[in-house]
């Protein structure tokens, strides 16, 4: 599977190099979260008993995207890949540290309609295939590898820093569907919001570059 991701990244890179149009965009979305809140529920289908209380929780995600405009309109489509990582320790288990990795590949469509005093709201819908791996765990029932499909809708607020660069505040996963309840987002089936709470817990931003 890792070879597949390497080949996919190489394919996207070759496409970027060979692109003749200067209207295509390379975008990178990143999210970061670290806190010591009570995370008794690590995922929807695994509720930790009282003796397992995770500490020093850290989560990170990066999603590179390539966006191709459709007929020079405000609609762009393209592929994306992604990598996520989370880590926490369980003090009651001799401070054992649990690591989890996420690998994803998929496609998306993004539509930007309005320009409100330089602020450009947009909507993105997409779907991807995900592999969620636990490298080590103190929880006997914790599956080592889970694969699942995810579809999502994001809402973003974009500001152009220059003719080539733009930055966005991203309200990630305003609406989602997950095919498996154990997943990186810890959501179950169809979910809508609360996007503001989701942003506070796991904020995402993006940088877009015009090729």
Q: What's the pLDDT at 136?
A: 66
Q: What's the pLDDT at 140?
A: 54
Task: Judge contact between 66 and 77, C-beta under 8 A.
Answer: no
What's the chain's average pLDDT?
81
Q: What is the CA radius of gyration of the chain?
A: 18
With cut-offs at 50, 70 and 90, classify the pLDDT of residue 69. Answer: very high
H/E stretch holding 113 reads none
Pairing of strands 25-35, 119-136: unpaired
Whether the predicted pLDDT of 182 surpasses 50: yes
β-bridge partners, 198: none
Please classify residue 172 by burial: count the beta carbons closer than 10 Å to its beta carbon, then call 0-12 exposed, 13-18 middle and 19+ buried. Answer: buried
pTM summary value: 0.80
- 26-40 residue pLDDT tens: 999 999 987 654 444
- 2-35 residue pLDDT tens: 544 444 544 444 444 444 456 799 999 999 987 6
Distance CA(170)–CA(3), nearest Å, equals 30
């Amino acid at each position: 599977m890792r070879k597949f991701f390497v080949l996919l990244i190489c394919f996207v890179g070759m496409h970027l190099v060979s692109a003749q149009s200067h209207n295509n965009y390379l975008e990178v979305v990143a999210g970061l979260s670290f806190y010591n809140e009570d995370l008794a529920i690590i995922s929807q289908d695994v509720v930790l008993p009282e003796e397992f209380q995770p500490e020093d929780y850290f989560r990170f995600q990066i999603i590179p995207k390539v966006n191709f405009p459709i007929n020079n309109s405000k609609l762009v489509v393209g592929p994306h890949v992604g990598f996520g990582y989370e880590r926490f320790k369980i003090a009651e288990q001799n401070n054992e540290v649990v690591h989890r990795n996420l690998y994803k590949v998929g496609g998306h469509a993004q539509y930007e309609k309005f320009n409100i005093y330089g602020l450009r709201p947009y909507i993105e819908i997409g779907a991807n295939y995900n592999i969620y791996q636990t490298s080590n765990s103190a929880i006997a029932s914790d599956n080592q590898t889970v694969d699942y499909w995810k579809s999502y809708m994001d809402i973003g607020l974009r500001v152009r820093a220059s003719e080539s660069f733009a930055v966005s505040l991203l309200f990630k996963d305003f609406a989602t569907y997950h095919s498996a309840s154990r997943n990186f987002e810890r959501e179950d089936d169809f979910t809508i919001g609360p996007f503001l709470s989701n942003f506070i817990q796991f904020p995402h931003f993006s940088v877009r570059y015009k090729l």
